[in-house]
Structure 1
Amino acid sequence: MNVNAKNDCAKALSSVLADTYVLYLKTHNFHWNVEGPNFRPLHLMFEEQYQDLWASLDVIAERIRALGAYAPGTYAKFAALATIKENQDIPKANGMLSELAKDNESIIATLVEAIQVAQNAGDEPSAGLLIDRQTVHEKAAWMMRSMLV
């Protein structure tokens, strides 16, 4: 893989890393602050999701480094790269579910674009990592949408 292709892959992975970090932070915040009759299942589901997100951050960042680029690692860089936005408010439980479902759909879009970049570059390790993350986010979005019915 040539240098330009590596840089393109690292840039796409950096966007995924930023979305993942913002989603991690939001999910952890909602885990801490969820209330209502579905407190326990939501509290546990959000915990499972933020732990998975946290673990994935290192894998994504290390792939960026393996491509020879520096991984973004500041709030300012994450905010600039992320499509997912922070929420300064604490929504009601269903609002949390709705927002996180939409955020998971947003990160899926970021992942689909990054997968295309990686596949076009012949970067199968990055493509595989990204496809695995897409599967996780598709399941999370489906579960949350199902809980809102």
Structure 2
Amino acid sequence: MPGDNASKALIDSLNGLLADYFALYIKTKNFHWHVAGPQFHDLHLLFDTQATELFALTDVVAERVRKNGGLTLTSVGAVGAKSAIADDDRTGVDAMAMVRVLREDNITLVERIRAAKAAAGEAGDNATDGMSDDWTDQAQQRVWFLTQILGG
């Protein structure tokens, strides 16, 4: 039977993941708003699609925290404190640099999802364990798309 420490570790891991989703959503929207250059149209649409996917999962992850008896993040400061995704306040970033940054951040997100999956297994949370496979697949698809834009 999973212990209290395993449940706390899962809640902490999920809150970290929630922070990452919010941080990557904001960064992706920043790049969506500020992308320029020959690939503007395609990247503008891709970044918007990816941001929508990221934001859609914030509520799902937060509800996993609550269903496991935890409290979720309450502020922008809490997101910043828990996220492994670095802020990027730049507005004049080269389009391909944006793609590289988002690719690396989505790779980080995959690692954080895998950590949450492992914590879910330790805590006996089969629902989060199973859902994390879909989250991983979505993040890996974003990595794949961004990688292909960079030439493979």
What is the TM-score with the length of structure 1 in the denominator? 0.95
1:100-139 aligned at under 5 Å gives the runs 100-139=102-141
Q: How many residues align?
A: 149
Could you tell me which residue of structure 1 aligns to residue 42 of structure 2? 41
Q: How does 1:3-42 map to 2 (within 5 A)?
A: 3-42=4-43
Letter of the 1:45 counterpart = L
Distance 1:66 1:7 in 2: 13
Shift of 1:103: 0.2
Identity, % of aligned positions: 32
Q: Matched residues in 2 for 1:2 and 1:119: separation?
A: 12
Per-residue displacement from partner, 1:69-89 (whole Å, max 9, x unpaired)?
Answer: 110131111111111111111
State the alpha-carbon separation in 2 of the partners of residues 88 and 28 from structure 1. 11
Q: Does 1:70 align with 2:54?
A: no
Task: Work out the CA distance in 1 between the residues paired with 2:138 and 2:54.
Answer: 10
CA–CA distance in 1 between the matches of 2:74 and 2:38?
Answer: 37
Which ranges of structure 1 fall in alignment gaps of 5 or more residues? none
Question: Aligned-pair distance for 1:39?
Answer: 0.7
